[in-house]
Amino acid sequence: MHSSRRQFLGTFATATAALAFAPRLLSADEPKPRKLGLALCGLGNYSNGELAPALLETANVKLVAAITGTRAKGEKLAASHGFPTANIYGYGDWDKIAANKDIDVVYVVTPPGIHAQNVIAAFGAGKHVICEKPMANTVAECDAMIAAGQKAGKRLAIGYRLHYDPYHQELVRLAKTQEFGPFLKISSANGYTLRRKSWRIEKKLAGGGALLDMGIYSLQACCMAANANPVAVTAKELPKTQPELFVEVEQALECRLEFANGAVADVWSGYDANRAELEATAAKGWFKGARPVFSYRGLNVSTSAKGKLDFGVFRQQQRHMDAVCAAIRDGGEFTCTAQVGRRDMVIIEGIYESIKTGKKVELKYA
């Protein structure tokens, strides 16, 4: 009896969550809502390989402009997405971007070290903004970005695609409903082997090493599993196997997050091994993810109740941009807020402070 009731509640919660992210059905004579116009700011691998293809599938937003230092990249996107080449801008063309009323949203996909200047410029041009993760290099930069958005009366979302990934939504559901009880033991690892020079290991552009690039996924997942923000962190940098390459930033680190309810989360992040793991354990069940648990597609996730999960084929970026842009257009809410992006930078600064001092750091979010 109790088991059947738990199964019913779990099924009901899953269906309710699915409906929350399902598009509203329109009557036959009701016009479709307008698609917002989006400009990609920065045309690197992620923009060209993931965001641009996803924007061919989105229902609530379309690509109408490009902001780039390489005009040929913009011309390629203009041809594939059908916008005029007049809508290809340089990074200093914010006055022209402001005058283009087809652009509602700017998606900033430049290195983190210049996120703040691009986001603030986009707000100055009167546009809403999606900013790729990590939000910035420092908490102070996050505060400046949030203030600029408030001054402009525009909204800021962070490119946390996994907020709209159904596998991670299942983790959130389990944490909120406590179907298995609270997840009190959590562990995660995320990283890959980096063997060549890259802007990702330049402190000015990247803000740090693997933590800001890869470890941030683990931090997000641990907060999802705990359904809370950590209150303290202890961290240590691991020995460098390529000290000649990792001069400015860490190659790998470990940290432990502590939560107010007694939950702990152990996290590894590095550029010296190919890892992607997540495990959250409660008294009555578990959630496990193995490579590629944080990737763009084909996630490998299981739970003690349902075994291996399969949510079919979809683009995380399409789900993310559609949800954010529908909320912007319709005055709704989204979960990948600037406040969540700032929270993550508070945690990251705490991790680096713990490494520097060798002490536990109490995390303060105010």
The pLDDT tens digits for 321-346 are: 999 999 999 999 999 999 999 999 99
Tens digits of residue pLDDT in 276-324: 999 999 999 999 999 999 999 999 999 999 999 999 999 999 999 999 9
Q: Are residues 155 and 179 in the same domain?
A: no
- Partners of residue 40 on adjacent β-strands: 66, 107
Q: Of 161, 168, 285, 308, nearest to 227 (Cα)?
A: 168
Q: Which domain range does residue 76 map to?
A: 34-159
Residue 199 CA to residue 275 CA, distance in Å, equals 21
Q: Are residues 104 and 153 in the same domain?
A: yes
Tens digits of residue pLDDT in 37-83: 999 999 999 999 999 999 999 999 999 999 999 999 999 999 999 99
Q: Are residues 203 and 147 in the same domain?
A: no
Q: Is residue 322 part of a domain?
A: no
Q: Are residues 99 and 142 in the same domain?
A: yes
Domain count, the chain: 2
Q: Are residues 210 and 123 in the same domain?
A: no
For residue 89, give the CATH number of its domain: 3.40.50.720
Residue ending a domain, among 120, 137, 159, is 159
Q: Of 278, 284, 319, nearest to 302 (Cα)?
A: 278
Structure pTM?
0.91
Residue ending a domain, among 135, 159, 183, is 159
Q: Are residues 139 and 204 in the same domain?
A: no
Residue ending a domain, among 159, 190, 219, is 159
pLDDT band at 32 (very low <50, low <70, confident <90, very high): confident
Q: Are residues 152 and 171 in the same domain?
A: no
What is the widest separation between alpha-carbon atoms in the chain? 65
Q: Where are the alpha helices (DSSP H) in the chain?
A: 2-20, 45-46, 52-54, 71-81, 94-99, 115-124, 139-152, 166-177, 203-206, 210, 216-226, 316-330, 338-357
Residue 195 CA to residue 244 CA, distance in Å, equals 11
pLDDT of res. 167: 98
Q: Are residues 113 and 201 in the same domain?
A: no
Q: Is residue 208 part of a domain?
A: yes
Q: Is residue 172 part of a domain?
A: yes
Q: Are residues 357 and 240 in the same domain?
A: yes
Q: Is residue 311 part of a domain?
A: no
Tens digits of residue pLDDT in 345-362: 999 999 999 999 999 999
Q: Are residues 62 and 192 in the same domain?
A: no
Q: Is residue 328 part of a domain?
A: no
